Amino acid sequence: MKKPSSAPPKPRRPPPWRRPLLLWLLLHAGLPLALLLALALGLTSPSLDTQLLGLLPPSPHGPNMAEADALFAQNHSRNVVVLVSSPHFAQAKEAAAQLYAGLYKHTAPHAAPGAALFEELSLFVDENAVAQLSDFLHEYRYALLDAPTAALLEAGQAQTLADEALAWAYGALHLGGLSHMEEDPFLLSERALRGFLQVALLSGGGLSLKEGVLATEWEGRHYVLLRARLSGEGASLSKGGGIEEIYRVCRELEGATGDLAGAGKAGGEGNNPHGGIGEEAAPPLAFSFSGIPFHSYESASGAQKEITLLSSLTLGLLLLIFLWVFRSPWPVAAIGLSTLLSLAMGLCAALLVFGRVHILALQLGLCLIGLSVDYTLHFFVKRRAALGPAADGALRRGIGVCFVSSFVCFLLFLWAPFAILRQFALFAAVGLLSAYLTTLALLAGGWGLFRLFSKPSSAGPLASSAGPTGVHTSGNPPTGVPPSAVSPSAVSPSAVSPSGVSPSAAPLAANLRGPLFSPKISKALLAGLALVFIGAIGGGRHGLKIENNLGSLYRPSPQLLASERRASALLGYGAASGFLLGGDSLEELLQREELFLGELEAAGEGGFWGASRLIPSLKTQKARYEAAAHLRGLAKAQYEALGFWGEEAAEFEETYAALHGHYALPSKAPPLLAGLVSNLLVEAPSGRWYSMLLPLGAKAAPGVEQKARLAALAKPHGWVGLQNKAEDISAALDSLTATLLGLLGLAFILVVLGVGIYYGHWPQTLRVAATPVFAGLACLAMHAFWGLPISFFSMTGFILVLGLGLDYVFYFNEDAAMKASLSPGRKATTLAVVLSYATTALSFGALALSSFAPVRLVALSVLSGLSAAFLWAMLGRR
């Protein structure tokens, strides 16, 4: 018979999901490996999105229009304009030419493969462009009749048209337009050209051709236009981007103003002794910049500097605090390592899933610095307080509950219909998971190095928090804690010195010995605070509404703003609304455009134009060809009036017949026309076509009534929507804010239910549930006090408060459940909560200094809410 063994039974090996070190390894090795694998297989191309457009929510006009919106935005988001100005045209033109030369080498194919910063660069006007257009219009002269001409013909007034052609041909000072006369005696292509140029003029601002460049004079200065389209590489805001290069060359030119003045002077010499800039002093040269990439560059440069500054500031202050608390570099190093791992894992996950991560998501993600330190902080504070692994069970539960509540809130953002929020959510959730697992791995004591950190402190505020009574050194270790973690050294009473409080830390340690106030006073203080919040909300209730004003979310620098205003005045940009249209085919889209343009005109809301005004649908081209048949009977007399007495009339008949079915398509358009059409018409990868109808000429934004009329005209059709970018974005953000409000409610219910099930004690659950309510009141009061409306970004902050604000209460609740013998641990918990709040407040406090309004709004909401949650937890603790 086998003798029973006297050896203690082997502890059962926990399942893999209960082994934090394994999970930790899986996450921290698996995620980078997965990213590397995806990179190697070409499944992802990680990059940083610095485009301002990324800030914008999807179009509120439905999925099809959202696709159109995104396509047009993508189409226009890399175009830039530089206006070079000087009091003297010669100087402005010379500077523009030098700028062109400076950038030209960065244009494909002159740059090294893959290094071209610009796809297109144009300064000098192609003299053949109008001739090419004229030839194109001549080739399709019947199909491309302009609308008024077609109307004349259809109204039986072909003779009027013929007389007008003769008046033009014989008129004084009428140059050009007669080059195709022998084939086109009614000058149809000339009429089409004039119609096209009228549209182009009204839509293109007030610049005109001067000495081979587009220029204008305004307020005593000459402006020369240079246009560029950035390449994908050039749009990247890493060092050496296209915008940086433009600024660099412009700075050089400004520095060389004297040389340019010399060039201007040279231009004025020779036959022009009285002109040019002569002996005048070098006039100032100036550059105006316009285009989304300049704003992206400015904001991204600012954001990158801010990220560096704010993260350095936060990390520096946290380092000082931790060094003061721990009096040892090791815990600080461990906390720092945990934070870095957390940030790295968050970034890996975001890059792996999204590929392209917006810089704003990263800036919001900086709050991880404050959040991820919490878990390791709690661990070290308690270990250093000489509690040892005996308190690990409570600590594990406290951290676990905190992690779950925060994680749930971040996960909810994954359903937000806004890419930046989803990126931020994944970044933060994975970062938080990393920090949590790192702390659990530390708790498990799997790493000898970290076990060194868990030696209790004999100095500093932590020693005093352990109290003179020492610690409980007996008893079984909590479930899941390996025996090795309960090392004698970790719990040696001799290591705890009752007099170990450093003079500087003594007041803090003393204050943390117990509740700050008696329960009555605490309750009165909380009630008083609640009343203050309610009073503030009552006072500012009129401003408390869901409102997102795009103008208040992004403000360019005064210089860039002035630059844009100047460009807007010179280029004729307007603030008026336009329409977005969609169709399953190009023909369907153009027909819809024509139909809707007709409806607009009939309703007295004309003045819009689109691609169909330049190249009509095939149906319309066919109708116009047929309308031109009215001219056939007049051809002979017309030729005779123009001095042609031969077979021209017969040839006219033959040519007309030959041009049957000869219709123009956008793909056949010459560059001048194609450039215009491509800005108005786009084919989606899905095969659908979209177009924009724009107001002719710079107009003010329509009033509320006109907008309602325009919207009413669009409403019966499912394929057209009124678009006003700024208002659409604000409306979309309003809608998202309401969605987030719903998510907030859902998160609150989920958390309260989870807490209720976890505690099984409803009064305690209610106490926990009251925390976000109290924090929410504080957030609202802050908004009311500063007169801020409830914006999308404020709401984002509210959700974060719900996820993070509960942590303090959870820690205290877990402590309250702790054995009385571990009472010193409660004081350590208080210190840990104070430190935890300090780190979070530092993180969000730093973000509150951001110049990005969205980041600032999130930070202010979180700061006010978390401060209230902290007070609630501190004053309400038992």
Partner 1 sequence: MPRPQHNGARLAAALLLLTALPTAAQPGLKPLPRLGPKPPPIGQEVFASPLTPPTRTRFEAVCQTLARHPVVKGDFVQTKHLSRVDRFLVSQGFFAVDTARGMLWDTREPFASTTAVGLNFVVQHSQGKSTRMDASGNETFLRMAQTLRAVFSGDTKTLDEAFEVFFREEKGVWLLGLRPKEASLKNFVQALVLQGDSVVRQLLLLEKNGDSIAYALFAHSFPAELSADEKALFGPP
Binding string, residues 587-626; x marks residues near partner 1 by CB under 8 A: ----------------------------------------
The nearer residue to partner 1, 179 or 735, going by C-beta atoms, is: 179
Contact status: 634 vs partner 1 (CB under 8 A): no
Select from 373, 295, 378 the least CA-distant residue to 338.
373
The span of 234-242, 289-297, 778-786, 796-804 binding partner 1 (CB under 8 A) equals: 289-297
Burial of 4 (0-12, 13-18, 19+ CB in 10 A): exposed
Contact status: 135 vs partner 1 (CB under 8 A): no
Beta strands 79-86 and 221-230, pairing class: antiparallel
Separation between Cα atoms, residue 221 and residue 217, nearest integer Å:
6
What's 723's DSSP letter? E
Contact status: 220 vs partner 1 (CB under 8 A): no
Q: Which of 54, 57, 72, 85 binds partner 1 (CB under 8 A)?
A: 72
Contact status: 274 vs partner 1 (CB under 8 A): yes
Binding string, residues 539-568; x marks residues near partner 1 by CB under 8 A: -------------------------x--xx
Select from 560, 475, 2 the least CA-distant residue to 302.
560
Nearest distance from C-beta of residue 704 to partner 1, angstroms:
21
Nearest distance from C-beta of residue 566 to partner 1, angstroms:
12
| Binding residues with partner 1: total (CB under 8 A) | 89
Q: Which of 113, 273, 503, 551 binds partner 1 (CB under 8 A)?
A: 273
Separation between Cα atoms, residue 559 and residue 557, nearest integer Å:
5
Select from 476, 353, 473, 373 the least CA-distant residue to 425.
353
The span of 36-44, 124-132, 505-513, 732-740 binding partner 1 (CB under 8 A) equals: 124-132
What's 478's DSSP letter? P
Q: Which of 368, 692, 828, 863 binds partner 1 (CB under 8 A)?
A: 692
Contact status: 297 vs partner 1 (CB under 8 A): no
Contact status: 269 vs partner 1 (CB under 8 A): no
Q: Which of residues 76-105 bind partner 1 (CB under 8 A)?
A: 76, 79, 81
On the CB side of 777, how many CA atoms lie within 13 Å of its CA?
20
Question: Quick one: residue 285, left, alpha or beta (phi over 0 = left, psi -120 to 50 = alpha)?
Answer: beta
Select from 540, 417, 491 the least CA-distant residue to 66.
417
What's 275's DSSP letter? S
The nearer residue to partner 1, 235 or 292, going by C-beta atoms, is: 292
* Secondary structure (3-state) at 368: helix
Q: Which of 70, 194, 340, 630 binds partner 1 (CB under 8 A)?
A: 194
The span of 197-205, 327-335, 581-589, 769-777 binding partner 1 (CB under 8 A) equals: 197-205
Nearest distance from C-beta of residue 396 to partner 1, angstroms:
51
The nearer residue to partner 1, 508 or 694, going by C-beta atoms, is: 694
The span of 104-112, 273-281, 420-428, 468-476 binding partner 1 (CB under 8 A) equals: 273-281
* Secondary structure (3-state) at 574: coil
The span of 174-182, 255-263, 439-447, 533-541 binding partner 1 (CB under 8 A) equals: 174-182
Rg (CA), the chain: 36
The span of 13-21, 38-46, 122-130, 490-498 binding partner 1 (CB under 8 A) equals: 122-130
Q: Which residues of 119-137 are buried (b: 16+ CB within 10 A; e: fewer)?
A: bebbbeeeeeebeebbebb
**Which residues on neighbouring strands pair with residue 720, listed in sequence order?**
581
The nearer residue to partner 1, 372 or 638, going by C-beta atoms, is: 638
Residue partners of 332: CB distance under 8 A and separation at least 6: 319, 322, 323, 326
Contact status: 147 vs partner 1 (CB under 8 A): no
Contact status: 70 vs partner 1 (CB under 8 A): no
Beta strands 79-86 and 681-683, pairing class: unpaired
Q: Which of residues 37-56 bind partner 1 (CB under 8 A)?
A: 53
Contact status: 511 vs partner 1 (CB under 8 A): no
The span of 156-164, 739-747, 836-844, 851-859 binding partner 1 (CB under 8 A) equals: 156-164
Nearest distance from C-beta of residue 80 to partner 1, angstroms:
9
* Secondary structure (3-state) at 218: strand
Contact status: 191 vs partner 1 (CB under 8 A): yes
The packing angle between helices 292-326 and 242-255, to 10°, is 100
Query: Which position has the token pair 């992690």?
Result: 403
Q: Which residues of 178-207 are buried (b: 16+ CB within 10 A; e: fewer)?
A: eebbeebbbbbbbbbbbbbeebeeebebeb
Helix (H) or strand (E) holding 404: helix 392-413
The nearer residue to partner 1, 267 or 398, going by C-beta atoms, is: 267
The nearer residue to partner 1, 310 or 664, going by C-beta atoms, is: 664
The span of 40-48, 202-210, 249-257, 410-418 binding partner 1 (CB under 8 A) equals: 202-210
Q: Which of residues 235-254 bind partner 1 (CB under 8 A)?
A: none
Contact status: 178 vs partner 1 (CB under 8 A): yes
Q: Which of 21, 23, 48, 200 binds partner 1 (CB under 8 A)?
A: 200
Nearest distance from C-beta of residue 465 to partner 1, angstroms:
56
Contact status: 630 vs partner 1 (CB under 8 A): no
Q: Is the dihedral of CA 731, 737, 741, 744 positive or negative?
A: positive
Binding string, residues 642-681; x marks residues near partner 1 by CB under 8 A: xxx--------------------------xxxxxx--xx-
**H helix and E strand count, the chain:** 35, 13
The nearer residue to partner 1, 129 or 773, going by C-beta atoms, is: 129
Q: Which of residues 401-460 bind partner 1 (CB under 8 A)?
A: none
Q: Which of residues 703-742 bind partner 1 (CB under 8 A)?
A: 725-726
The span of 237-245, 266-274, 706-714, 820-828 binding partner 1 (CB under 8 A) equals: 266-274
The packing angle between helices 519-539 and 762-786, to 10°, is 40
Q: How far is CA 522 from CA 251, 709, 825, in A?
A: 62, 59, 22
The nearer residue to partner 1, 212 or 519, going by C-beta atoms, is: 212
* Secondary structure (3-state) at 211: coil
Q: What is the dihedral of CA 267, 270, 271, 273, to 10 degrees?
A: 80
The span of 163-171, 422-430, 762-770, 818-826 binding partner 1 (CB under 8 A) equals: 163-171
Q: How far is CA 434 from CA 341, 347, 431, 533, in A?
A: 7, 11, 5, 36
Separation between Cα atoms, residue 683 and residue 665, nearest integer Å:
14
Residue partners of 35: CB distance under 8 A and separation at least 6: 44, 46, 348, 351, 352
Separation between Cα atoms, residue 69 and residue 723, nearest integer Å:
9
Contact status: 146 vs partner 1 (CB under 8 A): no
Question: Quick one: residue 207, left, alpha or beta (phi over 0 = left, psi -120 to 50 = alpha)?
Answer: beta
Strand segments (E) across 115-267: 118-122, 208-210, 213-218, 221-230
Q: Which of 247, 573, 656, 759 binds partner 1 (CB under 8 A)?
A: 573
Separation between Cα atoms, residue 513 and residue 824, nearest integer Å:
8
Contact status: 23 vs partner 1 (CB under 8 A): no
Nearest distance from C-beta of residue 139 to partner 1, angstroms:
17
The nearer residue to partner 1, 72 or 418, going by C-beta atoms, is: 72
Q: Which of 34, 71, 166, 256 binds partner 1 (CB under 8 A)?
A: 166
Contact status: 799 vs partner 1 (CB under 8 A): no
Contact status: 853 vs partner 1 (CB under 8 A): no
Nearest distance from C-beta of residue 268 to partner 1, angstroms:
9
Contact status: 290 vs partner 1 (CB under 8 A): yes
Q: Which of 102, 206, 470, 515 binds partner 1 (CB under 8 A)?
A: 206
Residues in the chain: 878
